[in-house]
Amino acid sequence: MRRLNWILEIIRTLLCMYMGILIASYLGSSEACARSLLRVLKPVVGSGPYGHAASLSVLSSSMALYAAQNNVNSIREAMGLLLLLAFPTSVAAALQFYLPVVVPTVGPAGLFMVCISAASALLTSILGRVLLLEREDNGSMGKITLVRDPWRTAHRVFFRVGPAVALAMVVVKLGEGYGVTEWIERSLQPLARFVGLPSDASLVVFGCLINVAVGAALGADLRASGKLRMEDLALALAFGRALSLPRIHLQFLFPPAVTFLGRRGLLGATTRTLVETLVNVSVVLALAALIH
């Protein structure tokens, strides 16, 4: 019976993830929805040439950098642009990954983590806008690229993320049986204490370093067993995501930045990684101090 309940829990989690991904994919195929998102971002990124380009990063960072490449004439502008992309990118990540994948796995803790990430990204974008000091422009937002085949896109995303989540849930159960999870928790306890989190949260942080979906799967199990409170799980996910930003940016930000902006893009992406990581960690530490 215990094994059957465990299998049913994995199936339920995967079904929730699939439905969330499918809904997000269909929203991404709607021009009205996409244009509404771009209008919402204008107060943060502005409506000049850099703001226009930054707004496009809610659909694709590569598209944003391609649109801005002819306007970037200095290292400072490259740094400002890459920082400016932070908030639109966080919106895209929330819609495409965190809301459909993480939130169905961990519930309210996932929403809390999304809010922490968005607030940190907002501060990062504000720093970028200060660096650019761009002139406001009321130009058109231009043509929007939509998801052409939402059904196929949803399947592609699900089959990339779903197996990792299912595997993580299986590994947790096996690890508990052989004492592996306890060893990982003891090894990462100093890191958890640094943030003011219980030792069990270290396992969530470790999972996020691999993939935030893995950290969410580990956290869901700890939450269900009563080892983590909702707020501690949310902070652990946010802290783990903050520490995984260098890995995420190396995979998704550095390639288009260097491709379209060259050495200036490399310096800009490096600056963005350092600043955004520092801002995220600072926000998590501040919230942890308030909660505890």
> How confident is the model at residue 141, as a pLDDT?
46
Residue 46 CB partners (closer than 8 Å, separation 6+): 54, 129, 134, 136
What are the DSSP calls for 19-32, one per residue? HHHHHHHHHTT-HH
Q: Contact, 29 vs 146, CB < 8 A?
A: yes
Q: Contact, 28 vs 95, CB < 8 A?
A: yes
Q: What is the pLDDT along the chain (292 residues), one digit of tens a residue?
A: 666 777 787 787 778 767 766 776 676 677 777 677 667 888 888 877 788 778 777 766 776 788 788 888 899 999 999 999 999 999 888 887 898 888 888 989 999 999 999 999 999 999 999 998 855 554 444 454 556 677 887 787 677 667 766 776 677 667 666 666 566 666 667 777 777 888 888 888 888 888 888 889 889 888 888 888 999 999 999 999 998 898 888 877 898 888 889 999 999 999 999 999 999 999 999 998 888 7
> How confident is the model at residue 9, as a pLDDT?
74
Return the H-helix or E-strand segment holding 31. Answer: helix 31-45
pTM, two decimals, is 0.76
> How confident is the model at residue 236, as a pLDDT?
93
> How confident is the model at residue 269, as a pLDDT?
94
Give Cα separations from 66 to 56, 209, 213, 281 (angstroms). Answer: 10, 29, 29, 30
> How confident is the model at residue 185, as a pLDDT?
61
